[in-house]
Each structure stands twice: as C-alpha cells, then as structure tokens.
Amino acid sequence: MMNSLTFPILKLLADGKFHSGEAIAQHFNVSRATIWNALQHAESLGIEVFSVRGRGYKLPQALTLLDKQAIVNNMSQQHAWLNVEVFDTLPSTNSYLMQNMSAKTHGTCVVTNLQTSGRGRRGREWQASLGASLTFSLLWRFQCGAAALSGLSLAVGVALIRGLHEIGATEAKLKWPNDILVNQQKLAGILIELQGDMEGPSTAVIGVGINLQLPESVLQKIDQPATDLHQILAHTINLNSVMAILLKHLVDVLFTFESTGFDELRDEWAKHHAYHQQAVRMLMPDGSEVNGVVQAISENGSLIVETANGLQKFMSGEISLRSYTATQA
C-alpha cells in the first residue's frame, strides 16, 4: 500500500541535507510518528534513508526528481503535443502502458522516479533504485502492421545515441539489437512490446532504461559489466532537460521510421555499432553458438555475420550477441 506522504518527504530530502523529524513533521502538519512510518515505507521500496539521532533524516546524495512541468518546460513547441505522465513509483512503465493502452493517446510518455519491477530483454529484471536510473516508456501507434516494424528497436537505438551524444556521452555505442554501451559496459537498454495485427494498425510500447548513478548494491545484482552517466560525464545533468532531449530525438526518429522504415537509419546505426566488423559469438536459443565477424546490418535490422558457413542473417529474437573475447552478454 502506497503511503501518500512518502514521495513528498523524499522531494524535501532531495537536497541531500539533513532534515530533522520535527521540522519535516511541522512542514506537513503531521506527527513525527507519521513521518517515521512514511520513511519506513520508503525503505520497503528499497530507498536508502539515513537516520541520525539529533540530526534527522537525509538521502545518501542529492537527487533531481522528475517533474512533469519541468520536462514540458524543456520541450520545444513542436513536441508539446506529447502527453507526458510522471509517476512517483510504478512496477513497470511498459506494463502500465500495455495494461492501459486503449485509454492512452498516441505519443503518451510515462516516466517514473522509481520503477520497482522493471523488465529487461529475455525476461531479465531491470535493476533500479531511486535516482539510479531513468526509466520511461513511449506509446506510439503505427498504421502499418507489426510485420513492418522489424528494425524498430534499432531505430530507437539511433535516437538514444543522438540524445546521449547531445548531453556529452559521446563514447556511447550501440550493441545489436537493443543495448547502449560505453567501453563495453552497459549504459542503457531498450524493450519494445507490440500489440495489433501483423498486417493492420499496431501499437508499440517503447521502453527505455538508462543508468544514472548506480549504487554498489544495485551494481552487484547486474549480471554483466555496467556503467552509468555519473561515471561517464564530467558534469552534472538536469534530468528533466535530459528527458526532453531524449523525447525530441525519439519523435524525430519515429517520424523517419514511419515514412521510410529502418533503411534510412541503417548507415547511422552501423556507424555507432560497437561490434561493426568485429569478431562475435551469437548465442542461439538452443544453447549453441555461431562464431563470425559482423559485416553489416540489413534493411529490416537483422545482423549480417560472416561465419564458417558463409554470410548468415540473424534476427534479434532470443539470440544474444557477445564479443568474441568477452564473457558477458
């Protein structure tokens, strides 16, 4: 059960400074016991709150929490039609949009400050804690059927690369089919879910998770090398501004994808692929492996690999690409 005071208190603590229980209680005109209960609820969500007798409560570090008005204020007029919804906490932004799809307009973007049950590719859990990740999902309705949407996750990757480069993460590269890496470490992931007919209109829920500042406790739960924007960037970022920048690039790329498919974005994608013309291992759904050298990307987003048996095309599905020398997916 959500405690209605938990996130208002966390917003007060977002400055990273100590606040006495008495001062917080006065601010919200409630008892100190009520404040204690609300912060106990925060801890049940996995949010670390320091409590020091005589000094009060504080978060481990200052945070910028997402705010709808701040995101909208950072968006240009031409993107003002997007419907941005900001939640304090959700189990999963993708699941929320999938469950409420019929009630949501085209261009609805759901963002949450804390995602408690996020999902990654191949059934993995997306690890997150408050301030650790930027997690959001965008609902986009296509007139074409799901069959024509192959390459969509790669197109979204191009949008994320543009946005990350704009904020200064210029070392960010793509990993086929839907990850963003910096120095072979995962920075971000994409999860797309489709609903609709293979031939008729279809709706995509485009989920994105970007590591912001991962605490050690979260890093230990991730089953592959990972990094975050805090480690990569020499400057601090305004999270609401970053969200607006990413939405701008997503909309631009999705308009291109709608009119020309993935083909027009293909060269740009290949230019940023971390494993372009590199030796790789393709892990197949049955556990077997195919070794080869990445040659190109096809017009529908499949990976073209030179193998011992000649050129082979791989569709994303359950296949995992690994560096030939790396041990992690």
Residue 60 and residue 79: Cα distance in Å, rounded? 35
Here the CATH number for the domain that contains residue 299 is 2.30.30.100
Say yes or no: 287 and 266 in one domain: no
Domain count, the chain: 3
Question: For residue 10, what are the domain limits?
Answer: 6-58
Alpha carbon distances (Å) from 29 to 21, 25, 56: 12, 6, 17
3 state DSSP class of 120: coil
Say yes or no: 188 and 124 in one domain: yes
Say yes or no: 34 and 178 in one domain: no
- Cβ proximity of 292 and 305 under 8 Å: yes
Which range among 44-58, 59-73, 81-95, 210-224 shows the weakest confidence by mean pLDDT? 210-224
pLDDT at 328 over 50: no
pTM above threshold 0.85: yes
Average pLDDT, integer, range 311-326: 74
Residue 85 and residue 106: Cα distance in Å, rounded? 13
Is there a domain that residue 328 lies in? no
Say yes or no: 112 and 196 in one domain: yes
Average pLDDT, integer, range 36-51: 89
Pairing state of beta strands 310-314 and 185-196?
unpaired
Higher pLDDT, 234 or 220: 234
Residue for token pair 């945070």: 63
Residue 267 and residue 211: Cα distance in Å, rounded? 26
